[in-house]
Copies of this chain bind each other. A is one copy, B any other.
Amino acid sequence: MNNRFDTSAPDSEAKRPRGRPRKTVDERDDGNRRQAVLAAAAQLFRQKGFSATTTRDIAAAAGMQSGSPFYHFKSKEALLFAVMEAGMHTALARQAAAVQAHGHANAPADQQLRQLVQAHFDVLLGPGNDFVPVMLYESRSLPQRERKLVAQLISQYEALWVPVLNGLHASGQLRAPVGLSRLLMLGALNWSVQWFDPQKGSSVNDLVDAAMALFLGPSATTHTLSGDAARPSTE
């Protein structure tokens, strides 16, 4: 079990004594244990699915009694939503970092795409990252309202792909329509959680290379030949 998760945790992790938190009456302790429940839930939801996971399973994995998760979360569904929300926040944060790194506006579109793909795989396949897979494969179990909130976060995430794909389409590096391309590409990436095994041959970097080669085909890496290379930079 990894305890290296940054999932939307407030900045209060460092100077707390080890072991079970002290029970001085005034302390609400909304950090440590809550995170433990969240992480246990993420792992179990991913492993067995939401419905097949028992709140008792989660409690046990977090080292609590059967009723205790409900001290931290109103319901099992609320827990699921919290997992997904945390997952999307790490995804959005990682993506923002990627965009700043090399996609700083008029960088070559294929370089920008590579950053997005890299970030996507990282957040999907990185160690201890069960949150995003849960979000991808269990949203069916969410109540309508929460499902819409998650859908909004996903839209926000996908929105950053559109200008990059538009650029690639304009320069002829991407032939398929942008909308369907986005859906198909993200599908190819998302499906990797079903089969990827870091100890089984290829690394995440291999995956990035393969995806880029698959999506962009020949003449992806080196060329500035196309006529309309410079679109009016919006910044």
Contacts and interface: CB of A to CB of B under 8 A. Distances in A.
A153 interface: no
A159 interface: no
Interface string A174-208: 11110011011111111110110000001000110
A94 to B, nearest CB: 20
Q: A interface, by DSSP: helix, strand, loop or mixed?
A: helix
A214 interface: yes
A137 interface: yes
Given A191-B187, A195-B183, A206-B180, A140 B48 contact: yes
A126 interface: no
Interface in A50-70: 50-52
Interface stretch (A5-13, A26-34, A215-223, A227-235): A215-223
A218 B206 CA distance: 23
A187 B192 CA distance: 7
A213 interface: yes
A210 B188 CA distance: 14
Contacts of A176: 209-211, 213-214
Given A49-B51, A51-B52, 13 more contacts: A175-B213, A175-B214, A180-B214, A181-B210, A183-B195, A184-B188, A184-B192, A184-B210, A185-B188, A188-B191, A214-B214, A216-B217, A217-B217
